[in-house]
Amino acid sequence: MGLTTTPSSSEFYDRWTELFRRGFGPVLQAGIVKTGDPPREDPRRSILALAERAGVREGDRVLDAGCGVAGPAIIIASEYPTVVVDAVTNSAYQFEVAQSEVDRVGLTQRVRPHLADYEHLPFPSGSFDQVLFFESTGYAKDLTVTYGEAHRVLAPGGRLYVKDVFCSSASLSVRAAEQMRAFDELWGCVRSKTLAETVAAISDAGFEVVSSGALPNVGTSRFAGSMFHLDRAGGLRPSELGVEFLKRGLNPPIEFGEVRARKPIG
């Protein structure tokens, strides 16, 4: 039996991003904040709702840490005409697509993709007013380093916002732990973090944690539905995304949550 290795997140996204784009569109997130009446999972409105929860303001210098193909960065820059977003991905493929999309929508002056690791950010200290992590910290190798870097690149008074799929508990049953490992392996994660360890790491990095908890009104129907085709000819069957990512019986102990924090002044 040969040795097997888990692909890095960059390898994972180099391989799968095109499939994800076809299945999910430009916002590569599982949890979509429901907005409107009746409530709907609209990815653009979800990103704007998250930006509002994060506290993004006109004139902000924003870092999107783990930006995918810059879908959220483009949405935020489109809505906030004086915001500049630096968008970081460690996938060369995502970086190329992000560059292309930014060019296509004419936002090259205000959305700047970077091929970089968010644990080693290529920015001077104090460069940003807002750092965003949208479903990206499961790829962090070291939370201390990750949030230490976020703290470094934020200006005093700057805001950190983390929205993620968290492991629901640090002490899992054997069965739940197996499910969690299978989930992480499926999605190329280093390890899904718990909300509690995330809050602790953010605090240890020097942030003042403003709030943390479950993310309200988040739905996964759009994500789930992207795994299937449903039509009269074939009934319900896996989509091309579902062929690769539907795993029967996978039911991991996860929850959507968020953390707001602030870098103290002085």
The 3-state secondary structure of 203-227, one letter per residue: HHCCCEEEEEEECCCEECHHHHHCC
| 12 counts as binding other proteins under rule CB under 8 A | no
Please state whether beta strands 235-238 and 254-262 pair in parallel, antiparallel, or not at all (unpaired): unpaired
| Cα-based torsion angle of the residue sequence 237, 248, 218, 195 in order, rounded to the nearest 10 degrees | -160
Marked catalytic residue, from 41, 119, 135, 258: 135
Coil/strand/helix, residue 136: coil
| Residue nearer to other proteins on the CB measure, 30 or 202 | 30
| Residue nearer to other proteins on the CB measure, 181 or 229 | 229
Q: How far, in Å, CA of 119 to CA of 22, rounded?
A: 29
| Residue nearer to other proteins on the CB measure, 170 or 224 | 224
Among 188, 226, 257, 258, binds other proteins (CB under 8 A): 226
255 is catalytic: no
For the segment 18-37, give every residue that binds other proteins (CB under 8 A): 30-31
For the segment 139-168, give every residue that binds other proteins (CB under 8 A): 165
Among 80, 139, 183, 207, binds other proteins (CB under 8 A): 183
Q: How far, in Å, CA of 229 to CA of 249, rounded?
A: 19
Q: Which DSSP symbol is given to 116? A: -
Interaction site with other proteins (CB under 8 A): 30-31, 38, 40-41, 165, 183, 219-226, 228-232, 235-238, 242, 246, 248-249, 251-254, 256
- Catalytically active residues are 135
